[in-house]
Structures are given as C-alpha cells and as structure tokens.
C-alpha cells in the first residue's frame, strides 16, 4: 500500500477533506499562474497544509482556557492537536465508572473550531493511571474488561472526530524488554493486541498507533517495536502507525532517524513524530538555541523525506509551560516560542523546513554584524544571576562612544552593572560607555558585567545592537 499523505488524510477525514476540497476549488478559480512566495509571517499550518503535512502541538487544558496568547498561537500556527493531559485515564475516569469529560470535550471543541486534526492521547498507559486500576489487584478477565470499557467509553465518545489514537503508550523499557505495568503483569504482552482490537471496535475510523520515547534511532527499544509491529501485522491486528515521541537532548538527533522511520514505513505503517521537544541545560545561550534550531530542522527534514511520515507534533508551544524543567531540573527551553511568546530559532527552522522563508534562526555562517557579542551567565541562583557581555566592534573606524542594547526574553531585570552606564526600560536593557571606555578601535573588544534578577526562567537574549546596528551573537 503506498497511499500518499493526502490520500490517507482524505480517506480518513471526509469532513476535513470536503472543506479542503471546496477551498481548493475556490482557490483554483482565483488562481494566478505563479504561487505567491510565503511571507515571513506565514503561519506554520498554512505551509504544512500546502504540503499535506501535519504540524501539531500538545495543548494543555489550563493554558487553552486561561492564556489567550497560548490559545491564539495554538489556533493560528497548528493544523493538528493533541491533548497534553485531558484524555489520559486519571483525568477521564478517576474512579471506576465515573467519567469526567470537561477538559477532553473542551479540547475537542477547540480543535474542531480551528479545523485541526486530532491525535487522541492516550488509552492504555502505565502512567497517569488512577490507583483504582494500578493497585486494584484485578484478575486477567476483570482487568481486560476494565480496559475494554475504558477504551470503549473514550474512543467511542469521540469516534469519527479523532484521526489517530495513541492506543498503547510506552510499553517497553529502553533495553527493549517489556515494562512492568499492571497491564503487562496481569495480561501479558497480549494486552497490546487486545487494546488495538478494542480501539478498532470503538472507533473503526481512527488510525491506531503505538507511541514511545527513545525510539527515534535504531536501537534495542525501536528494534523491539519493529518486531512487535511485524508480529501484530502478521496476526492481522489493527495497527496503523508508530508514534516516535522525540523528547530529545540538544545536539543529539539520532543520525539514523530517517532510516528508522523508513523501516517502519516499509512494514506498511505510518509514522508520526508525536511529542517533539529539544531540551537544553539552562540558561540556554545563543549557540545552544542555534543548535536546537538545527535539531528541529533535522527532525522535520527526516519526517518530510519519508512519504508515510505524516507529521510532527511539538510537545507544547511556549517554553514557560513545558514539562521538561519539572522532570529534568536545570534543563528547559525545549520548545519553539520564548517565554515572551516571540518565535525562537527553532520556530523558524520548522518554518523553513516546510518551505517558508525561515527567519533569523539557523544559518551556518551569518553575515558579521556591527559587532560580535558574547553573552555569558557566569553564576546563577534561584532568583538572580551574574552575567558578562563582551562585544567586539566590527566597523572599519574607531568609536568615540557606544551604546549596546538587547531585550531579555523572560522578565530578567538588572540590579547593578559595571564598566558602563546601565538602564532598563521594560525588557530592553541599554548599556552605554563609562567615561573611560568610550574609545574603541576597529576590532576592539569591550567587556561589561552585571547582576540581575530572574523569576525562574533565564533565557538568554537573542539579538543585540551596537549604536543602533544589529550585531552577531556568538
């Protein structure tokens, strides 16, 4: 079977396809011979739609309802959506037979209102499982019945509106052995096939996935999936795809990602990158943000290169709401918008991968600016930090006075500074020369320092100017 991305989407999502087809007819009627080039502010979803690709985000219920800027980005930038927590077992069925649909329904309504393809997440998972299931001490028949009624209730409620279900989440350990969970321990490995069959029964139209982390490269864990997928398909179990979560470490995109995606595609499965984020030791500096952008680009490119890789979902939108710092203390900034909701280099990397213009994001050899700036956090504690900024003047003639400026993305404030005259207005910091260091020869370097406060996030600035002209961050 070699359906294209479009073929699959059309066959599975008639309502969306119909809307798309009508729009295409209307567009064709108005078409001019040359496609207009994408504008710098072309939303990701528009670029993705043009390639029949899905660009999704995990949407937290509280952020959707409580943060208008988050909701606006969710709606305008993404053509696909996953509920970050709202469809998990502990949320929808916290007690046996008692269902709470509030957040899941709100998420589904949001996705429908914004014409987004929905990935349901997740039906059977050892985590975020209420204790009445995990500690219940049920025998196999009863637990299978509990699993079936849960799947039936959740997948059944949204049948026809969910394009993909992560039916079973994270059933393997990193070494490829089965993870101890109440499901595996009570039902054996057959719980995976059972869950897939139950999901197909509850929603015959949804594409059914297994989903996990650390399976982006070819390794023991992804090999276990490969074997399992092959066995399930041979038995006629309804399995349609593999979700590679892609919770990555900066600079560590597996070199064989595309090859790994391809081998699952060659089994006749679709693949989706379901939870992409790239974590950085905090505070993130300019070089790390550029590396992160290259990593995002590499993941997008690998998926786009394989026809059956249907899309990429980012696990959140704005750094401030990421799960990463809670689980990996000292690490963060894994997403595509800074804490102040401005796009990061990683955002532009996605934009460029999808055929857009890109932005000030990745680029191996940026043109030298008016100066080169080296911004360093020398010491950091829970509420403050000490930093140093060294700029090298690139111009051909000497300066007889200077003003260096940047904008802090996450609410930092200067409390004292040295080797210059310091001022801050909003997020914008300006340092001008002290009486003794205004004269800077061509190629000369000046170093200034400061103490500042922060309130949790301490993202490094991404752009600097010297006497009003843009500099290059190094």
Q: Are 149 and 196 in contact (CB under 8 A)?
A: no
Least distance to ligand G3I, CB of residue 324, Å: 8
From 54, 84, 170, 207, active-site residue: 170
Q: Indicate the burial class of 454 (C-beta count within 10 angstroms; 0-12, 13-18, 19 or more).
A: buried
Active-site residue, 170 included: yes
> Of the two residues 84 and 319, which places its CB atom closer to ligand G3I in the complex?
84
> Of the two residues 127 and 445, which places its CB atom closer to ligand G3I in the complex?
127
Least distance to ligand G3I, CB of residue 212, Å: 8
Q: Indicate the burial class of 177 (C-beta count within 10 angstroms; 0-12, 13-18, 19 or more).
A: exposed
Q: Are 257 and 295 in contact (CB under 8 A)?
A: no
Question: In the complex, which residue's CB is closest to ligand G3I?
Answer: 323
**Which of 4, 127, 416, 455 is the binder for ligand G3I (CB under 6 A)?**
127
What angle, 0 to 180 degrees and rounded to 10, lies between the N-to-C axes of helices 14-29 and 5-12?
A: 120
d(CA 161, CA 153): 14
Supply 53's token pair. 């690709």
What angle, 0 to 180 degrees and rounded to 10, lies between the N-to-C axes of helices 220-234 and 190-202?
A: 60
> Of the two residues 89 and 391, which places its CB atom closer to ligand G3I in the complex?
89
Altogether, the residues listed in the chain come to a count of 474
84 binds ligand G3I (CB under 6 A): yes
Least distance to ligand G3I, CB of residue 35, Å: 37
Active-site residue, 189 included: no
**Which of 77, 79, 85, 222 is the binder for ligand G3I (CB under 6 A)?**
85
> Of the two residues 169 and 462, which places its CB atom closer to ligand G3I in the complex?
169
Rule CB under 6 A: which of 227-246 touch ligand G3I? 245
* SS3 letters across 153-197: HHHHHCCCCCCEEEEEECCECCCCCECCCHHHHHHCCHHHHHHHH
From 275, 288, 352, 372, active-site residue: 275
Print the binding letters for residues 265-294 with ligand G3I: x by CB under 6 A, - otherwise: ----------x-------------------
- CB-CB neighbours of 397 under 10 Å: 8
313 binds ligand G3I (CB under 6 A): no
> Of the two residues 184 and 323, which places its CB atom closer to ligand G3I in the complex?
323
- CB-CB neighbours of 21 under 10 Å: 12
The residues assigned a catalytic role are: 170, 275
**Site residues (vs ligand G3I, CB under 6 A):** 84-85, 127-128, 169, 245, 275, 323
């Amino acid at each position: 079977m070699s359906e294209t991305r479009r073929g699959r989407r059309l066959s599975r999502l008639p309502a969306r396809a119909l809307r798309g087809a009508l729009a295409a007819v209307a567009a064709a009627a108005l078409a001019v011979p040359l496609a207009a080039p994408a504008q710098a502010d072309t939303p990701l979803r528009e670029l993705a739609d043009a390639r029949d690709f899905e660009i999704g985000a995990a949407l937290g219920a509280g952020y959707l309802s409580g943060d208008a800027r988050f909701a606006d980005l969710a709606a305008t930038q993404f053509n696909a959506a996953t509920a970050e927590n709202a469809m998990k077992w502990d949320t929808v069925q916290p007690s046996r037979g008692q269902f709470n649909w509030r957040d899941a329904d709100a998420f589904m309504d949001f996705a429908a209102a914004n014409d987004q393809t929905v990935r349901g997440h997740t039906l059977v998972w050892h985590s975020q499982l209420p204790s009445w299931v995990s500690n219940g001490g049920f025998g196999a028949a009863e637990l299978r019945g509990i699993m079936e009624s849960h799947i039936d209730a959740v997948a059944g409620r949204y049948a026809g509106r969910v394009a993909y279900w992560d039916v079973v989440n994270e059933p393997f350990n990193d070494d490829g052995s089965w993870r101890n969970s109440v499901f595996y321990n009570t039902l054996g490995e057959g719980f995976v096939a059972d869950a897939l069959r139950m999901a197909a029964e509850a929603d015959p139209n949804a594409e059914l996935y297994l989903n996990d982390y650390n399976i982006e490269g070819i390794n023991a864990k992804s090999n276990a999936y490969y074997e399992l997928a092959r066995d399930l398909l041979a038995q006629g179990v309804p399995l349609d795809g593999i979700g590679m979560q892609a919770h990555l470490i900066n600079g560590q995109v597996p070199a064989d990602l595309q090859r790994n995606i391809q081998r699952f595609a060659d089994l006749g499965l679709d693949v989706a990158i379901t939870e992409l984020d790239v974590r950085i030791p905090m505070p993130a500096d300019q070089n790390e943000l550029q590396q992160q952008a290259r990593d995002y680009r590499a993941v997008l490119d690998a998926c786009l290169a394989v026809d059956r890789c249907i899309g990429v979902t980012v696990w959140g939108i704005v750094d401030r709401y990421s799960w990463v710092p809670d689980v990996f203390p000292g690490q963060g900034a894994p997403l595509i918008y800074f804490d102040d909701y401005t796009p990061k280099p990683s955002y532009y990397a996605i934009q460029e991968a999808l055929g857009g213009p890109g932005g000030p994001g990745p680029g191996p050899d940026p043109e030298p600016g008016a100066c080169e700036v080296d911004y360093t956090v020398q010491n950091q504690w829970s509420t403050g930090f000490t930093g140093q900024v060294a700029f090298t003047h690139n111009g051909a003639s000497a300066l007889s006075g200077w003003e260096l400026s940047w904008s802090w993305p996450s609410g930092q404030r200067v409390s004292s500074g040295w080797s210059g005259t310091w001022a801050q207005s909003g997020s914008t910091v300006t340092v001008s020369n002290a009486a003794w260091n205004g004269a800077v020869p061509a190629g000369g370097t000046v170093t200034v320092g400061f103490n500042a406060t922060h309130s949790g996030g301490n993202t490094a600035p991404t752009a600097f100017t010297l006497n009003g002209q843009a500099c290059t961050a190094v």
